[in-house]
Amino acid sequence: MATCWRRRGELEAALRWYEQALQRAEAAGDVREQGVTMHEIGNVLARQGELEAALRWYEQALQRKEAAGDVRGQGVTMHEIGNVLARQGELEAALRWYEQALQRAEAAGDVRGQGVTMHEIGNVLAERGELEAALRWYEQALQRAEAAGDVREQGVTMHGIGNVLAERGELEAALRWYEQALQRAEAAGDVREQGVTMHGIGNVLARQGELEAALRWYEQALQLHEAAGDVRGQGVTMHEIGNVLARQGELEAALRWYEQALQLLKRRGTCAAKG
């Protein structure tokens, strides 16, 4: 039930259900289930932007999983600790947790977990500007995602490869990877990732001077961001639409898009601050 609430975005309701589940697991002396439930509470808090609280729950979850000998579960929780630290800008610390998570995933034979963690290592390296190293990790992550039959993760990783190639100025190659990523996102029914990838395609076309084509992709991306409830994605894409219009000399129209983008991003910031 709690997972259903979380997937529907009803985070407070999910939190209440997880707290009840934790009480039952403690009453039953089920250490493994305590760890699983504490992990889920951490996930909800992370989605609410309460990162320090999420970290505390993940740390407790990790202790329970170690006590229960749940090696795969340890890796999953270490991965999430890395995610929180990466969001906080603590990239070196995040990398250390991802490396430990990868070791656990390998020990547990968790091929999907290996791929997801390799992908995040690639993300950290890309953020640090280590593009060649990032690309190598993404390629390994893609191999694991394909071996695990994880279509969604294949798409997300292909998107990361496209990002690196775009950053290196290899725009045609980046487009090809984004197109493959979009196919995977569509096959997985991942609306948010479809929007993010369409935005990336728009960015490449804008850099190539294909402004009308870029505009069409941004408009599609915006529709999908709205469908996914991705407020930040909406704001960023509105900003890029404004950029294209400004380049086309349509300054009044650009200004209107910038104003809409600013309103959305301010609203998102306020919501995040409230947790």
Which fold is adopted by the domain 110-189?
A: 1.25.40
The pLDDT value recorded for residue 269 is 60
d(CA 73, CA 67): 11
DSSP string, 59-116: HHHHHHHHHHT-HHHHHHHHHHHHHHHHHTT-HHHHHHHHHHHHHHHHHHT-HHHHHH
Q: What is the DSSP string of 26-60?
A: HHHT-HHHHHHHHHHHHHHHHHTT-HHHHHHHHHH
pLDDT, tens digit (0-9, with 9 covering 90-100), for 143-191: 999 999 999 999 999 999 999 999 999 999 999 999 999 999 999 999 9
Q: What is the C-alpha separation between 23 and 105, in angstroms, rounded?
A: 29
At 268 the pLDDT is 65
| Of 160, 154, 100, the residue nearest 127 (C-alpha) | 160
* Mean pLDDT over each residue of the chain, to the nearest integer: 93
267 falls in which pLDDT band (50, 70, 90)?
confident
Give tens-digit pLDDT for 35-84.
Answer: 999 999 999 999 889 999 999 999 999 999 999 999 999 999 999 999 99
CA distance 1 to 121: 32
Contact of 159 with 196, CB cutoff 8 Å? yes
Domain with CATH 1.25.40.10 in the chain: 1-99, 110-189, 192-275
Tokens of residue 136, six digits: 């190598």
Q: What percent of the chain has pLDDT over 90?
A: 89
Distance, CA of 175 to CA of 219 (rounded, Å): 17
Confidence of residue 11 (pLDDT cuts 50, 70, 90): confident
User: What radius of gyration, in Å, describes the C-alpha atoms of the chain?
Assistant: 20
- Residue 166: what pLDDT? 97
Residue 3's pLDDT is 52
Mean pLDDT throughout 202-221?
98
Instruction: Assign domain 192-275 to a CATH class.
Output: mainly alpha
For the chain, count helices (H), then strands (E): 14, 0
At 6, the pLDDT band (50, 70, 90 cuts) reads very low
pTM of the model: 0.87
User: Which tokens belong to 68?
Assistant: 């229960």
Q: Which of 228, 223, 235 is nearest to 269 (CA)?
A: 235
Q: State the CATH class of domain 1-99.
A: mainly alpha
